[in-house]
Structure 1
């Protein structure tokens, strides 16, 4: 058993076990930081022990993510592990009851490849429950066919999936043949009082006078014009903007807007909470405009790589799609919109929050009590009667009785590579009914071909020996 030590309230906790391994991709973006905090905090408040596992090897490593906060007391009880390689990730199987893939655009093709598919949990073994809460593909379509085939295999290993955008439900069905549920972003699950408490620590750079707030990820568009127009609408003479680029480099902007460089998460929350009006092109800027019940406009450039799906689902749900400004020509009409009726919005959000919490709590309960029924209640069949099979047979046989091994070589069909084990063809495999197939082939490319062949045969319960035995 691995030692996991972490300084906590002046003491040291050793050999910790966790109900949930919360798998995230940490970076220095504010939205990423707040969504990771929200899901972690909600699960802990629900009574579970949670280990946050960062699978991203670059951008934020070591203690770098702590620089996002004014006060580290906001995250002092966060137990986390950085990705120091596949061997370290494999050790997480020893200390976590289940694994939950966190929210944000974790399944966008580019991000999947940046993590070398670690975000898809290939390092989690088959006897562990795998679920995803409010993950996003970042688009209505998975963009990269080559990586889609590999992702298809990994997603079929999950026991339960939920997505952040309604379009993601259709995408899962259409491109992966999987069922998924649409749930709210984790930021809506936490009580607003937690964000208000954090915002109180971020007031030092917030204007004393009334102002328009802006949070912009991209500066190539017409955001500055929208901010100036919103000032006039609100009858205020001041604005304050947080620019995503200035979080990394305070000198990245040289325009005329009043900005708050290197903003911390608490300052960002305070910026939105204390504003008269919010302008944003960020999904989480939209979320917190709703949480703090602000009037707002969302700027969306149709050429933006981030996609519109992130806005469409939430604003359609709340009947607020008229708050999206696609071009400067839309601005005049958008500024004439009446104030948002938050009695209606809050009613919808509360209903969706209850539904999303039920989904998450049911999933966690099922996951913690999961003991690999996918294998125990089905017949275990090995695929591959070569060297990999011979090396690992005894280890597998100690865990489960094996009657069959399937192989693509007709000369092996009907033989007994081990006493009591019959080698069969793929056609015979189809007749066995409910099976779990363990791929015992060393070559990764051949293993993937076998996985795709099994999926074509309608067999979804499978894993590779390397994952399964760790």
Structure 2
């Protein structure tokens, strides 16, 4: 079966984005399908569409943030080094891309990808404003009616506005099967009369052995001394991740610090003082995380691969207006019995990081989740 996948693929520094693309494609190809990614990169596909003075006022009130302006200026100094991460090379080597790049829903409708099925997901592809016509592409509103349309681990990552709900309902009812990544999305679909299945992130469809192959091929060195791997996403300042507490921890434990930064809600920028920011390739990032004595992260995929590689970890949840992004982290940790890995600043880092983890029990739960999600994916494509 020819399967076209729509997800985010254009990042130059977000490791989770690249690895979830790699994982879903690899899993499907291992099942004998001709799976490929459809390069859908709509212009102006942000969170809101400004159509009037009222829209403009609402947009600025809701989304304008001076921190974003400051961070953008910081990014200009830092992003020039992104080429060292070699994401373009990773895409060329490991992702199968459809031969046409699409910049709008109109492009997709005019010349849809040739496939037997389309998959929307994973990642926060449903986070775009539904006032934007190009959001329809992420709900597979194109192509021949004979093509099967399903979502897999699609994520919203925010609270939909009341006026968006009718559009969202219309879009998801147009899918042959709905699979989402968070329990909140399952509940929302249910409230709208649509049955949705909870799926694991595509990265969890593969095993640690699959990622060992990538990590082993990196050829990139890791610190010789024991180190704390720090993967930072979606925070702007050290205080946002209680870094002072982790600084004391690495001093007490005599650990090196290996920090890596990626773009998410904010552009990637080093926030930890006096620590050199690392710029690994995708395989090198896996190798760094796999070799760490322990991990602290603000990233969902930082959590995923800590679990995959059995690394002791703590996750610092996002706060304020970005807290909606925590749903997928909580969903995964609750399902694997690891909710105690959410960092609590009221207690010491050593106490929380050193808490024992029953990896056998975690793996057993993860195996059941993986099997259920794989069954959904295969059944939804052929039912």
Residue of structure 1 in register with 2:343 after alignment: 325
Determine the C-alpha separation between the residues in 1 that align with 2:147 and 2:366: 32
**Does the CA contact (< 8 Å) of 1:211 and 1:237 recur in 2?**
yes
Q: CA deviation at 1:202?
A: 3.1
Residue of structure 2 in register with 1:310 after alignment: 328
**Does the CA contact (< 8 Å) of 1:69 and 1:266 recur in 2?**
no
Match of 2:297 among 264, 280, 289: 280
Q: CA deviation at 1:168?
A: 1.6
Q: CA deviation at 1:71?
A: 5.3
Match of 2:247 among 220, 223, 228: 228
1:359 aligned onto 2:376: yes
Determine the C-alpha separation between the residues in 1 that align with 2:268 and 2:40: 27
1:34 aligned onto 2:19: yes
Match of 1:103 among 112, 115, 122: 122
**Does the CA contact (< 8 Å) of 1:322 and 1:334 recur in 2?**
no
Residue of structure 2 in register with 1:150 after alignment: 167
Instruction: Pick closer, same or farther for the CA change 1:19–1:76 going to 2, 3 Å.
Output: closer
Residue of structure 1 in register with 2:316 after alignment: 299
Determine the C-alpha separation between the residues in 2 that align with 1:71 and 1:87: 29
Q: Give secondary structure in 2 for the equivalent of 1:212.
A: strand
**Does the CA contact (< 8 Å) of 2:38 and 2:113 recur in 1?**
no
Q: Which has the higher helix share?
A: 2
- Counterparts of 1:153-168 in structure 2, within 5 Å, are 153-168=170-185
Residue of structure 1 in register with 2:137 after alignment: 118
Q: Which has the higher strand share?
A: 1
Instruction: Pick closer, same or farther for the CA change 1:76–1:356 going to 2, 3 Å.
Output: closer
Residue of structure 1 in register with 2:55 after alignment: none
Q: Give secondary structure in 1 for the equivalent of 2:178.
A: strand
1:57 aligned onto 2:57: no
Match of 2:200 among 175, 179, 184: 184
Q: Give secondary structure in 2 for the equivalent of 1:316.
A: helix
Residue of structure 2 in register with 1:20 after alignment: 3
Q: CA deviation at 1:296?
A: 0.2
Determine the C-alpha separation between the residues in 2 that align with 1:48 and 1:144: 37
Instruction: Pick closer, same or farther for the CA change 1:92–1:46 going to 2, 3 Å.
Output: farther
Instruction: Pick closer, same or farther for the CA change 1:301–1:67 going to 2, 3 Å.
Output: same
Gaps of 5+ in 1: 1-17, 367-470
Instruction: Pick closer, same or farther for the CA change 1:120–1:336 going to 2, 3 Å.
Output: closer
Residue of structure 2 in register with 1:457 after alignment: none
Tell me the alpha carbon deviations over residues 279-319 of structure 1, each in whole angstroms, 9 at most, x when there is no partner: 00100110000011111000013315152211111111112
Moved more, 115-124 or 67-76: 67-76
Residue correspondences, number: 338
Residue of structure 2 in register with 1:377 after alignment: none
Residue of structure 2 in register with 1:383 after alignment: none
TM-score (structure 1 length as normaliser): 0.65
RMSD of aligned Cα (Å): 3.0
Tell me the alpha carbon deviations over residues 250-279 of structure 1, each in whole angstroms, 9 at most, x when there is no partner: 875572223203x32112111111100010
Residue of structure 1 in register with 2:72 after alignment: none
Q: CA deviation at 1:147?
A: 2.8
The one of the two structures with greater contact order (alpha-carbon pairs below 8 A, sep at least 6) is 2
Tell me the alpha carbon deviations over residues 346-388 of structure 1, each in whole angstroms, 9 at most, x when there is no partner: 011111111111111111223xxxxxxxxxxxxxxxxxxxxxx
Determine the C-alpha separation between the residues in 2 that align with 1:196 and 1:59: 38
Determine the C-alpha separation between the residues in 1 that align with 2:242 and 2:23: 28
Match of 2:188 among 171, 189, 195: 171
Residue of structure 2 in register with 1:338 after alignment: 355
Residue of structure 1 in register with 2:283 after alignment: 266
1:134 aligned onto 2:117: no
Q: CA deviation at 1:178?
A: 0.8
Determine the C-alpha separation between the residues in 2 that align with 1:325 and 1:254: 18
Q: CA deviation at 1:245?
A: 4.8
Tell me the alpha carbon deviations over residues 1-43 of structure 1, each in whole angstroms, 9 at most, x when there is no partner: xxxxxxxxxxxxxxxxx62111112231221111111101111
Q: CA deviation at 1:336?
A: 6.0
Instruction: Pick closer, same or farther for the CA change 1:306–1:58 going to 2, 3 Å.
Output: farther
Tell me the alpha carbon deviations over residues 152-191 of structure 1, each in whole angstroms, 9 at most, x when there is no partner: 21111111101111222111112x3211011211101113
Moved more, 352-361 or 297-306: 297-306
Q: Give secondary structure in 2 for the equivalent of 1:160.
A: coil
Determine the C-alpha separation between the residues in 1 that align with 2:190 and 2:88: 39
Gaps of 5+ in 2: 46-82
Determine the C-alpha separation between the residues in 2 that align with 1:185 and 1:240: 25
